[in-house]
Amino acid sequence: MVQPTNQEITIETENIQTEAPASIESDLIYGLESRPPFVESIFVALQHVFACFVGIITPGLIICGALEVPPADTTYILSMSLVVSGIATFIQAKRIGPVGSGLLSVQGTSFAFLGPIIAAGLAVKGGGGTVEDALGLIFGLCFFGAFVEIFVSRFLHLANKVITPLVTGVVVTLIGLTLIKVGITSMGGGVPAQRAETFGNPVFLGVAFLVLAVIVALNSTTNNYLRMSSIVVGLIVGFLVSNPLGLVDFSNLASLPPVAIPIPFRYGLNFNFGAFIPFAFLYLITAIETIGDLTATSAISGEPIEGPKYFKRIKGGVLGDGVNSIIAACLNTFPNTSFSQNNGVIQLTGVGSRYVGYFISAFFVILGLFPIVAGVFQALPQPVLGGATIVMFGTVAVAGIKILSCVNLTKRNSIILALSLGLGLGVSVVPEVLEQMPSLIKSIFSSGISTGGITALLLNIILPGRE
């Protein structure tokens, strides 16, 4: 779940922010506990939905495409992503007991887990398993991994001492860099094009670069609304251009059911300890990310960012992230986390009311219950998706670099950074280096994210000279 800030590029991933400013200028019209009129609440809620919709859908599209999940199952998973985002956003805004921040915090599917999820699924398929077997393992890993974040939420003061900006920066940078391959593959036409030997067709690349150009152009404007909608507009333009080129296939829409009924544990739950390690580590990182997101939300909403009230909200928000990810796994979709782009919407609208979150939740649930919505996005051509995701993943890497830029690069820290990035990227580029290792070792270190992250974490603990 990694997400650059809205001041850079509007991307529906999760923001990495280990420290928030003491205050953020904001002209609030409605504060946290205010209740805006019904019409105004609807209008503001729709802006949040538009800002976050693509980010919720995209991870599922990428994962299902990489694992070649059948169209019907893909549509179902995407629908559940929207339903769970609605439920999760309600929990965060409402705060049910200790669960939830009580802030206007939009929840959505995390991008951070893409690499380990795809790796785990491909490993199952490579071993002769079915797509259902792969999904069962993935949702099992997501389910049990969420308890790591729940546990961490009770000991945040200790987590911050271990997961430092150096470790976080390494992991976030590796998330972005290791996912670049996924984006480039989509730009060239994806797995289907590779099998059809049409990969890299100039038409595919032309469409991808058109989408890329539209997103960059809109992000270069001074209009905040255009910047926030850049991804959506880019995808729409790509859709429109792809249709006459014969790249859009709506044939699957006719067979979709009218309503998507949530079926808990539809694909079962499986577990593999080796594959679990990267998930557990990323849930740790996600907890730190959520602290930054919620701190920014609190500041923008005119609420305290220190003291008992603030810390209670942070603990509740991280706990909510973990609980929501369990719900996501139960309903057959991927981990949820706080999205940061809604902070930009709060600033633009001047509405920080948590009650608007109830309307946002309702919109997401309604959209998710109608498979036609997910079906349309499923028809999105791979080059169109690639043009957007290459920007997203690249910006994630930049977010990691920005975190690292705030780290004092002493000789000790430079060694940690060099080894972590070197080993993490090395394993990603040359996975065959682990071919002769025991299966457990292969499972743990086959992900560049886990290799680099574990390296950074261990070296940060054991090397002398830590500040």
> Is 15 contained in some domain?
no
Q: Cα separation of 424 and 414, whole Å?
A: 15
> Is 197 contained in some domain?
yes
Which residues form the domain of 278?
38-462
Residue 399 token pair:
């977010």
CA 73 from centroid of its chain's CA atoms: 20
* Cβ contact 383:122 at 8 Å: no
pLDDT digits (tens, 9 = 90+) for 322-365: 999 999 999 999 999 998 767 778 877 889 999 999 999 999 99
Q: What pLDDT shows up at residue 332?
A: 97
DSSP one-letter string for 313-343: HHHHHHHHHHHHHHHHHHTT---EEE-SHHH
> Is 12 contained in some domain?
no
- In this structure, what is the dihedral angle of CA atoms 284, 289, 290, 292, given to the nearest 10 degrees? 140
Q: What pLDDT shows up at residue 27?
A: 67
pLDDT digits (tens, 9 = 90+) for 178-225: 888 888 998 999 878 888 889 999 999 999 999 999 989 988 888 877
Lowest mean pLDDT among 82-91, 218-227, 278-287, 310-319: 218-227
> Is 221 contained in some domain?
yes
Number of domains in the chain: 1
> Is 30 contained in some domain?
no
Greatest Cα pair distance in the chain:
64
Sorted by sequence, the CB contacts under 8 Å of residue 291 that are 6+ apart come out as 18, 156, 160, 314, 317, 318
* Cβ contact 186:389 at 8 Å: yes
pTM of the full structure: 0.80
> Is 449 contained in some domain?
yes
Picking from 356, 292, 309, the residue whose alpha carbon sits closest to that of residue 94 is 356
- Which residues sit opposite 336 in a β-bridge? 109
> Is 20 contained in some domain?
no
pLDDT digits (tens, 9 = 90+) for 141-173: 999 999 999 999 988 877 667 778 888 788 888
- Which residues sit opposite 108 in a β-bridge? 337
Q: Which helix (H) or strand (E) holds 107?
A: strand 107-109
Q: Cα separation of 156 and 162, whole Å?
A: 10
> Is 29 contained in some domain?
no
Q: What pLDDT shows up at residue 467?
A: 56
Q: What pLDDT shows up at residue 18?
A: 40
Q: Cα separation of 197 and 180, whole Å?
A: 21
pLDDT digits (tens, 9 = 90+) for 37-65: 999 999 889 888 887 888 899 999 999 99
Residue that has been written with the tokens 């926030």 in this structure: 228
Q: Which helix (H) or strand (E) holds 305?
A: none
Q: Cα separation of 49 and 419, whole Å?
A: 41
pLDDT digits (tens, 9 = 90+) for 422-440: 999 999 889 889 888 887 7
